[in-house]
Each structure stands twice: as C-alpha cells, then as structure tokens.
A and B are shown apart, each in its own frame.
Chain A
C-alpha cells in the first residue's frame, strides 16, 4: 500500500486530498510521475514530491509502504 497526500489545488485534479494505492504484485515498476498523470494531474503543475520525508524526483519508483506528499509548483514566499 502507498499513501498519497495532495496539497492545495492538486487535490482538485486528483479529485481527492488523500489516496491509497495498492501496487501491482507482478514485479511491474511504477514511477510516481506516471501514477500522478494517470490521476489527471498535469505534471507541469507538480512542484515538489516528498516520499517518507525526503525529496524525490518525478521518476522515483514507488515501493510498498511509501508515504508520498505531492505539492504544487510554488512561485516563492
């Protein structure tokens, strides 16, 4: 099981603030970018991906037990 949390307006694209994903058990590798795309989140709107408290690239391969936070692109503070 992989847990996702979508921050701010990304939840509008994902149509949920949180989601759980059961990884296919057939040895298929799923990267986080492909999954986000499949949910209808435009990748150009994805700013920061944090997995288990660490920054990860968009091609990070998901692993069972991961906790993924997805933040939009920010323009600064």
Chain B
C-alpha cells in the first residue's frame, strides 16, 4: 500500500500517512508540484520553516520498463522564489517506489545547529545525527555513508553549499555504480540544507512494485526496451558520446554559450565534442567508460566516467550542459579542465549550469580569466571556504551579477541560462521565459525537436514550446527520462497501457497529456501567488538588444507568440 513519509525536523517527528485520493494518480513532478501548491505558502521564505522539500518517484518508478527511475524533488525555489522541480537519475526513485513511498516530505526547520541523516528502511524511518558529515563534500559524504550502511543503499545528500544554504546548491543522488547524479537546479540543495538534513539513506527494500497485470506490463516493457535499443538515437549515440553528442550541432546553429554569452559559436568547440570525449575515454583506458547506466534497467546508458591522461577517473558523468556552461562559456578548449571543474562543483554540491554562469559573470567582473583553470578553481575555493565572495558566487548568477555590477547576466526568472543561447534557438527563449521553472532546458528543450521550426524564426515558437512543455512534463509525472521519448511519442498509447497494466485503471492518451497540463497549471498558479509571473516571463535584457555572432540574432519573438506557450 502506498504511503507518504512526512518528516518534521523541528519536532524530530517521522510519520507515515495514507495517500489522499486526489494524489493517487499523480507522480513525479505532477505530485511534487501539486503538493507544493497545496501545502506550501506561496509567500513563504524558501529557506524558512514554511517551505517544504518534497521528493517523489514517478507513477512508473521501480517498474521493468527502461528509464523510469527518475526522482523528482520539489519546493519553493530559493533561487527563483517560484515553484521548482528538479529531477535526477540514480537509485532513490526505484527504491522509494519499491518501498511504496509515494512521496517523502521534509518540513519545518530544525533547532539551531542540528544536522541529521534520515534513515529509511523496511522497519520505518528515523532521524539520526549527521554531525560526522558536517562540512563534507558530496563524494566523501557518500563514501562515509557507504562505509556505515553498505554499498547497496540509495543516498540523497547535499554538500557544503547546501549546508551553507547557498541558492546555487544542488542535491546529489547516488546511482548503481556508486557515482553521483544531481537534481541540480533552482537551489533545491539550499532548501534541503535549511531543513538540517545532510543525507537521506534508503536501504534496499525487500518488496517490489505490484502490477495489476504483470505479464501484460512485462511484455510491453520488453517491446519498448527493444525499440529503444534498436533506435540509433537511444541505442547507439548516447552509449558512445552521451549528451555531449550535441556540442557540434549546437555550435553549428550558433547557439553554444561562449565567453559569457558573447558568441554563439566557439572556435575550439570540436575539442569539447562528444566525439573527442569518446576518443579520450577509449585512448586513455583505465577507469574511463562510456555507456554507463544511472538507473537500474535503463538501456540508454548515456553516462560516462571521464579519465585523465593516466586513465584515472576525474568525474562521472561529464555531460553537455556542463561542457557548454563551464567549457565554451568560460573559454576552455579542452575537456580535462572542464572535467576537473565539474568534479569540484559536484563535490561542493552546486549546480554546474548555475556555476558556469556565475564564473562567466565573475570573469567579466575581472575576478578570473577565460580559459584559466587556476583562477576559476580559486573562485570555487572561495565558496568552499565560505568567504563573503564565495557566498556571493554560491548564491547564483543573478546575485553575483548584481553584487559585482556586471551588465551581461544570463538569466531568466532569476535562474542561470543553460546551454542554448535563446537568440539562436528561439524556442528555448520562449521556454526559459514562460516555463514555471524559469531558465530550465529540461522543461521542454526545443533543441530536441526535428528540423521543423527554423530556430531563428520569430514564428511558430510559441506553439512549439507549449507542446514540448506539456509532453515533457507528462513524462516527468510518469518518472520517465526525457531521452526515452522516441517510442513513447511515436505511439503515446503505450504510456496509457503501461499505466493500465501497473494500476488497473484505463487512461486515455489525452489524460496522459493532461497530467502535463494540470501540473503546469498548478505550477503557474503557485508562481502567480508567489509574485513570480507574469511580469517576470522575460529573459535578461541583453538578449533582446545585443546581436549574437555568428547568426547576429537577437531574441525577438513577439509577445503574442510568447503567450501561446503559457499554460494556465
């Protein structure tokens, strides 16, 4: 029987509750966002006692179909002051689903100075002292927790940035290989830090998910998994090149963030490409790997272990957004520097997208130099030390730009822009401005669409983005990774069928898409009450006025077109 695990860190109370009827067929982002709307005061301080951190697997979490183990983490965002859902791969989604925990809620704020670990197992859940982990980076935190609880546990944890409640902080989630994945965006790590919870440790549950029609589900799951393997997009390219496969293409359309969003193409982009990443992994050998899975049963396997010249692991997984924001955006012409900065940002428990934006702004302010690893690393060192400068930087692109007096501050709704310049990929400009999530590519990336809409055109971008936002949000309700979408979008009935075999309730395809629509509506409603929309449905000003070489485009999608993407 599904339950909700409610943890009040002020009272030290841990309660299992039944699931409200309204929530029965909500999952993932659909559930976290509805719960935030229902339970969190929109005007609250996101780092205060009235915010809640809500963690939920998708409706198909823990099942046998590929790529459904995503874990959604929602709250009022300390970064944007609007609603936030950040999701991640790793083990936690699968374990929570198998344990029948539909949602885990952290609420209240602890007595001054308390730091906890939340243990979850088949006997229940409890808060224990996390003092031993105070100040530790995410990697050391994970290894200490493995030593204490065994390597088969799922860990959700924060680094020093989350403990310091810095608004750029992420939440790390352990995967089956003992690596860390990140629910990175929107400062969810600061919200977890404000609850005084350093880590959540979930022991492997004995149970597994139940099926209304197990044979029906398994047969369809096998079919979908095979389609994913047979498709060159998911069966081949991701296994070799990971998400870095898109570097050359984004560069070719002139949308690759370069030198703090001054240019849309980078002369050394090829050196940062998935092809070079793959070549280095093969050539260097040792611990290097591509085709690494981040969730149990995922057949796409887009992860990697990126090695140094001696074959020793630098970081896992080196991926596109980090390469764009920490690579070309900071003027680095080699993946090794990007990988080392990536590892440091991960260990601090920060978002690589936000920090790439921060370092670009800091370089413009004269605090470091483009392409200079040492000066960038020194700024990350300020964050670790908790100096005043470090606290400014760790609080994200917006605050850094304001404090340092920089005019080119790449944000939308208070959040750093990800790896597609909205001037040359206008569908993503619409997304960043209109999505309840702010500048978040995962909410409906127009780069993923076929060659249908000219990325430079002012037309059709509103409908394109609206459609993508709805469909991607629906996937996030089910727990699917968005990369698994080819067989799902080709025949959306399979999603309804999977739900039927799992729950015994018939859904129409329209009802599946409605999960996306209803979620977006709930998020928009929260944001309006929190004062985040519609005046903030905009990009930073320079995107409208400063032409971006080599396309020399500005962001010029008309207001009427933009409005088409707003779902309310």
Nearest neighbor of A50 in chain B, beta-carbon distance: B252
Whether the pair B551, A47 counts as a contact (CB closer than 8 A) is: no
Knowing A8-B237, A8-B241, A53-B550, the reply to whether A77 touches B454 (Cβ < 8 A) is no
Whether the pair B454, A57 counts as a contact (CB closer than 8 A) is: yes
The residues in B between 444 and 458 inclusive whose CB is less than 8 angstroms from any CB of A are 445, 447-448, 450-451, 454-456
Whether the pair A77, B447 counts as a contact (CB closer than 8 A) is: yes
- B400 on interface, CB distance cutoff 8 Å: no
B448 in complex: contacting residue of A53, A57, A69, A75, CB < 8 Å: A75
Total residues of chain B contacting the partner, CB 8 A? 38
Knowing A50-B252, A53-B252, A76-B441, the reply to whether A9 touches B447 (Cβ < 8 A) is no
Whether the pair B252, A77 counts as a contact (CB closer than 8 A) is: no
Shortest beta-carbon contacts, A-B, top 3: A77-B320, A76-B448, A76-B445
**Contact string against A for B residues 452-485, beta-carbon threshold 8 Å, 1 for contact and 0 otherwise:** 0011100000000000000000000000001101
CB distance from B70 to the nearest CB of A (A): 14
Whether the pair B483, A48 counts as a contact (CB closer than 8 A) is: no
Whether the pair A74, B485 counts as a contact (CB closer than 8 A) is: no
Residues of A within 8 A of B236 (CB): 9
Whether the pair B486, A50 counts as a contact (CB closer than 8 A) is: no
Q: Which of B234, B248, B324, B451 has the most CB of A within 10 A?
A: B451
Q: Which of B234, B250, B253, B483 has the most CB of A within 10 A?
A: B253
- B419 on interface, CB distance cutoff 8 Å: yes
Whether the pair B248, A75 counts as a contact (CB closer than 8 A) is: no
**Contact string against B for A residues 1-14, beta-carbon threshold 8 Å, 1 for contact and 0 otherwise:** 00000011100100
**Contact string against B for A residues 54-77, beta-carbon threshold 8 Å, 1 for contact and 0 otherwise:** 110110000000000101111111
CB distance from A9 to the nearest CB of B (A): 4
- B44 on interface, CB distance cutoff 8 Å: no
Whether the pair A77, B319 counts as a contact (CB closer than 8 A) is: yes
- A20 on interface, CB distance cutoff 8 Å: no
Which residues of A are interface residues toward B (Cβ below 8 A)? 7-9, 12, 44-50, 53-55, 57-58, 69, 71-77
Interface of B (DSSP majority class): helix
Query: Complex formed: what's the CA distance from A9 to B237 in Å?
Result: 7
Residues of A within 8 A of B245 (CB): 8, 74
Query: Complex formed: what's the CA distance from A9 to B275 in Å?
Result: 11
**Contact string against A for B residues 262-302, beta-carbon threshold 8 Å, 1 for contact and 0 otherwise:** 00000000000000000000000000000000000000000
Whether the pair B451, A46 counts as a contact (CB closer than 8 A) is: yes
The residues in B between 222 and 257 inclusive whose CB is less than 8 angstroms from any CB of A are 232-234, 236-238, 241, 243-246, 248-250, 252-254
- B537 on interface, CB distance cutoff 8 Å: no
CB distance from A51 to the nearest CB of B (A): 10
A75 in complex: contacting residue of B254, B454, B456, B485, CB < 8 Å: B485
CB distance from B12 to the nearest CB of A (A): 42
A7 in complex: contacting residue of B234, B249, B419, B456, CB < 8 Å: B249
CB distance from A72 to the nearest CB of B (A): 7
- B525 on interface, CB distance cutoff 8 Å: no
CB distance from A14 to the nearest CB of B (A): 13
The residues in B between 475 and 507 inclusive whose CB is less than 8 angstroms from any CB of A are 482-483, 485-486
Q: Which of B234, B243, B244 has the most CB of A within 10 A?
A: B243
Whether the pair A75, B482 counts as a contact (CB closer than 8 A) is: yes
- B344 on interface, CB distance cutoff 8 Å: no
Whether the pair A77, B243 counts as a contact (CB closer than 8 A) is: yes
Nearest neighbor of A53 in chain B, beta-carbon distance: B550
Whether the pair B486, A54 counts as a contact (CB closer than 8 A) is: no
Residues of A within 8 A of B419 (CB): 77
Query: Complex formed: what's the CA distance from A57 to B321 in Å?
Result: 26
Query: Complex formed: what's the CA distance from A2 to B223 in Å?
Result: 41
B248 in complex: contacting residue of A7, A12, A76, CB < 8 Å: A7
